[in-house]
Chains A and B, each alone.
Chain A
């Protein structure tokens, strides 16, 4: 309670400095927010494409219905597999003529259906990596009545590397922005600590422990950080709305991301404050 009271009093005593700190944190976290919004939307787009990754096992014409039913059951029990749909020769022809309308006449004139029956195997979201897709394709190919298993290897590889690049870029830029934000906050909080250097020295003189001296500053850093986080959230939301209305439809950040962003801003404020006070305590320390 004392720490909170002191922190609030510190904020009231130096409103301009506090406002500067909030803006420093707000703008830094806002840049992270914008990046997170972009990264999230790239992720959503990639997940959409990735969701279409499937292994198609083309079946020989002599495969019996019983064999297919057993195989389908077995394939669906693979941990990597979400579902396996049987597409009969008739359905394949129907779908082909529906999807490729320019060849519909050719399909209708056929005397023998040349399209094979198949099993369309969808993979679990966690198992859409190139290795898993290839492994499932290999296992499925092992069935005698499977003529061939295809999965668009190039696409899977490309999507997977795109995702890795996006993830890596997100991590690098996120760390860079966070470091910049921490430096800015550090400067702002250090100014606040220096403004109260005399007070800290008096506290030491009367026998205050480091923890007692540090606590109000940590709370002040937390409050300032959270305020900066809310500012960043507001700015990110404003940008999202602006883009949404004028340019392109976007997905808003998931709730855990915004909560993590706020917590991050608060913790950043607290850590920066802690570092600034520690430096000041060392400066005033016995020498």
Chain B
């Protein structure tokens, strides 16, 4: 599903943001990507989303390879890889419903099909009743749920979440994490970057990939492909 092979990414500075990282996230697998701030978690997620190109090594997502992908293939890849940010990144001038519909419109889906699909997605994240609310009228947890619904719109193979609970209180975090588990149970792989040690401790069954200063220092699955 998602495979990193000896991936190094440097931005021209003296040290690489990530160095010689290899791991394989299988279909339907859930994993935490952890490490301190600056360990390289976001860089790894952006490499998988192909917002960054590896300086060396290869990232593979399904049939897409970082060494062969063409610019015109990027939208196709990004529809298959949902991305969730810590700061939600919703469009402020659009309602919850429109924010989700937007991810479907870009694919050219007919309008008649978009409405019912958006309703289904908002119900899935428990926000059907707040469809007409603008982001500023929603709590942090609710905004993150809208972002999750948007990320799921195109039925991604994998969901990348960058500190998705970082801005949320404990109750909202538990709600959002529960949502990820539900999504994962339906077959979508989830890679969640977090430095919340408590969350990781509470879910001992979830695979942990730990980074330190750009290097992979621990993988509970015991593999470094």
Chain A residues within 8 Å of B, Cβ to Cβ: 2, 9, 13, 198-199, 201-209, 212, 285-287
Contact = CB atoms under 8 A, between A and B. Distances in A.
Interface of B: 49-53, 71-72, 74-79, 83, 89-91, 93, 102-103, 105-107, 150-151, 153-154
A286 B52 contact: yes
A159 B52 CA distance: 64
Contacts of B78: 204-207
Contact of B83 (A198, A205, A209): A205
Given A206-B150, A212-B106, A286-B71, 7 more contacts: A2-B105, A205-B89, A206-B151, A207-B76, A208-B75, A209-B106, A286-B51
A13 B93 CA distance: 9
Nearest to A213: B106
23 contacts: A2-B105, A9-B93, A199-B91, A202-B89, A202-B90, A202-B91, A203-B102, A203-B106, A204-B74, A204-B75, A205-B78, A205-B83, A205-B89, A206-B78, A206-B153, A207-B77, A207-B103, A207-B107, A212-B106, A286-B51, A286-B71, A286-B74, A287-B53
A206 B159 CA distance: 12
A206 B153 CA distance: 9
Contacts, number: 51
A13 B106 CA distance: 21
The prevalent SS among residues of A at the interface is helix
Contacts of A287: 52-53
Nearest to B100: A206
A13 B91 CA distance: 13
B158 to A, nearest CB: 13
Contacts of A207: 75-79, 103, 106-107, 154
B82 to A, nearest CB: 9
7 tightest Cβ-Cβ pairs between the two chains A and B:
A207-B79, A208-B106, A207-B78, A206-B103, A207-B75, A209-B75, A202-B89
Contacts of B79: 206-207
Contacts of B74: 204, 286
Given A206-B102, A207-B76, A209-B106, A198 B89 contact: yes
Contacts of B53: 286-287
Contacts of A285: 71
A9 B102 CA distance: 15
Contacts of B153: 206
B179 to A, nearest CB: 18
Contacts of B103: 206-207
Contacts of A13: 93
A14 to B, nearest CB: 12
- Most B CB contacts (10 A, CB to CB) among A2, A285, A286 go to A286
Contacts of B49: 205
Contacts of B91: 199, 202
A225 to B, nearest CB: 24
A205 B51 CA distance: 9
A198 B77 CA distance: 20
Contacts of B50: 286
Nearest to B89: A202
B83 to A, nearest CB: 5
Contacts of A206: 78-79, 102-103, 106, 150-151, 153-154
Contacts of A199: 91
Contacts of B89: 198, 201-202, 205
Contacts of B71: 285-286
Contacts of B90: 202
Contacts of A202: 89-91
A212 B74 CA distance: 13
Nearest to A205: B83
Nearest to B11: A287
A277 B74 CA distance: 18
A198 B94 CA distance: 14
